[in-house]
Amino acid sequence: MYRKEVNERSPMRVFEKSMRGGLGRGNVGVVLSRAGVGKTALLVQIALDDLLRDRRVLHISTEHAVDHVRAYYDELFHDIATYTKLAEPESVRLDLERHRLIFSLLGHGNTTEGASSSMKKLVETVTFAREIAHFSPDVIIIDGFDCAHATEAMIDTLLTLARDHSAELWLSTTTKAGEAKPGSAPAPVDKFFDKFGVVVFLDPEKDVVRLRLLKDHDSKEIADLSLRLEPHTMRIIDADIPPASERPRDAKRYRLYSGGAKGAEAAFGACAERWGLTETNFSFEGHTLRERTRGVQVLSEADLRRGDFSLVYVSKRLGRVLSEIPLVRNVLQTIWYQINAAREVFVVGQIQDDGTVRGGTGWGAELARLWKKPLYVFDQQKRTWFRWSGTAWEMATLPMIKSEAFAGIGTQNLTEDGKQAIEELFQRSFGDPS
């Protein structure tokens, strides 16, 4: 079984379906149980499922060292790979590790003062990941959050982190209670119950662990969810997994990486906003061609230098002296960030006789080919989508956005055909805009 099939058949899809699509970006979810039931294993299962969907995971533990957490991932990934007969598991595992960061915040006592100190370090860790490590997480895992000594201001800080990073934030915390009912939660989560988006409770039985849904956003009718989990790996034992065709894509889980410039990039951004996707537009001071104002990330001079990747190579490949084009270096540097962050690339422009894409957009296409990322180009002249096979351009059946992190770039000279192609791409991928 290949990675995509493993992900589509994951029992976590049942979990998400019961929560009407999942936690969602900008929300905080809680895994609650007595000590030793399996909160860490469940969080790692959630993280692995996200990693298999090309999402970036930042895992912060207050209870385990980094090596201990990494061992959890290795063991549970091995279980998934063996259970599903995953093809090329070692290659997949290495790819997942590149999209995961693990930090440990061991050493803080169970007091209000200790919780405050831990919260400060937690915020510093997320900031470090994004600003220093250039790692923008789609999912933030906080294993071992001390709700017992938390304040309302601390919970509000978690909500702000989730919103500011447009990430799903999952945390685990311990309760002494042995039972829980939908619509409420035992201490210490009860005092913050209204602030959390999703709350699940792990209830140990003789040979299994029951996963019970206590809160599903603002829904008053909580789904009757009582999944049986294998107690060691937290893998769902019995689940009626619906086929992929029956599961509509949740547009809110997807992120467009672009530059927001007039033309194709602005059209990609407008569609992302219309369909409810998250939007990140890499830019720089003095970028006069940028039209999008949503999700702008202005790169510093140091950031831009990091994107100064092999301009000699691309100059030769495109047959152009790039330094003679005004502002082209900064534009190419931002494109480097867009393609680097994406797992799938869509381009609107024109394929030339030598196989390159015309204009500065060609740099993005070359990077996608160099890094072997799925690449689709809508040729405005031929009014047709093409896919790079690895050796040649092939006419493509109407493509769909499959990766939750994708780039949308293209020419400033967008035609009506090009604009329609972008809109139809979103329509095919997500259905009617909400």
pLDDT tens digits for range 14-45: 677 666 667 888 999 999 999 989 999 999 99
Phi-psi region of 342 (alpha: psi -120 to 50; beta: other; left: phi over 0): beta
Asked if residues 271 and 292 have their Cβ atoms less than 8 Å apart, the reply is no
Residue corresponding to tokens 């889980």: 253
**pLDDT value for 249:** 66
In this structure, are residues 424 and 268 in contact, taking their beta carbons and an 8 Å threshold? Answer: no
Query: What CATH architecture does domain 251-430 belong to?
Result: 3-Layer(aba) Sandwich (3.40)
Element at 170 (helix H, strand E):
strand 168-174
Domain limits, the chain: 3-246, 251-430
* Cα–Cα distance, 193 to 429 (Å, whole number): 35
CA distance 165 to 26: 7
In tens, the pLDDT along 381-417 reads 888 899 998 888 988 878 999 888 999 999 999 999 9
**431: three-class secondary structure by DSSP:** coil
Q: For 46-67, how does the pLDDT look when each residue is reduced to its tens digit (9 = 90+)? A: 999 999 988 999 999 998 899 9
Average pLDDT over residues 329-341: 85
Buried b (16+ CB within 10 A) or exposed e, 135-174: bbbbbbbbbbbbbbbbeeebbebbbebbeebbbbbbbbbb
Domain 3-246 has CATH 3.40.1160.10: no
* Region 284-308 average pLDDT: 84
The tokens of 118 are what?
């831990």
The pLDDT of residue 244: 46
Can you give the pLDDT at residue 13? 67
| Helix, strand, or coil (residue 256) | strand
Question: How sure is the predictor about 242, in pLDDT bands with cuts at 50, 70 and 90?
Answer: very low
| pLDDT score of 4 more than 70 | no
Round to whole Å and give the CA distance between 261 and 108.
Answer: 46
For residue 247, what pLDDT is reported? 43
pLDDT for res 17: 66
Q: What is the predicted pLDDT for the residue at 345?
A: 96
Fold agreement (3-246, 251-430): yes
Residue 153 has pLDDT above 60, yes or no: yes
- Segment 207-234, tens digit of pLDDT: 888 888 899 888 777 766 667 888 888 8
Summary mean pLDDT of the chain: 85
